[in-house]
Structure 1
């Protein structure tokens, strides 16, 4: 399972992304003169972070699956014959 330091780092990473996206959404709303409350921005950013993490998880699973498939079904390589055959028929 996930260790303590790794879980702590993941929690801080997600929290920082969540707050950063919320701030960007709030500032973007102010700049475009369509302000939203900070609560609305934090809810939207939580949704965006969840979708991003789910996409990252799916990408990692897909990559691992493809790597395992390549490893199991490696094509056989051509091996030259043990004895040398002349290349010139004369």
Structure 2
């Protein structure tokens, strides 16, 4: 799946979770949080891939 799809799905989940817990956030706030989480996940994946390639060398 593309990053845009992950970002959109995560933003939707955060928004729905906020509604369900009675702490609603705006769509912009959820989108910003989702962008941060996606970027963090991608950075972690990059570190994992570099670590794995160094171990195999």
Is structure 2 residue 43 aligned with structure 1 residue 42? no
TM-score, length-normalised on structure 2?
A: 0.98
Structure 1 residue runs of 4 or more that deviate by more than 6 Å after TM superposition: none
Number of matched pairs: 57
TM superposition score normalised by structure 1: 0.62
Larger radius of gyration: 1
Shift of 1:38: 0.2
Which structure exhibits the higher relative contact order, with contacts defined as CA atoms closer than 8 Å and separated by 6 or more residues?
A: 2
Q: Deviations over 1:25-66 (max 9, x none)?
A: 000000000000000000000000000000000000000000
Q: Hey, which of these two has a bigger chunk of helix by percent?
A: 2
Aligned pairs (5 A) from 1:35-74: 35-68=24-57
> Structure 1 regions of 5+ residues with no counterpart?
1-11, 69-90
When the two chains are superposed, the root-mean-square deviation of aligned CA atoms in Å is 0.8
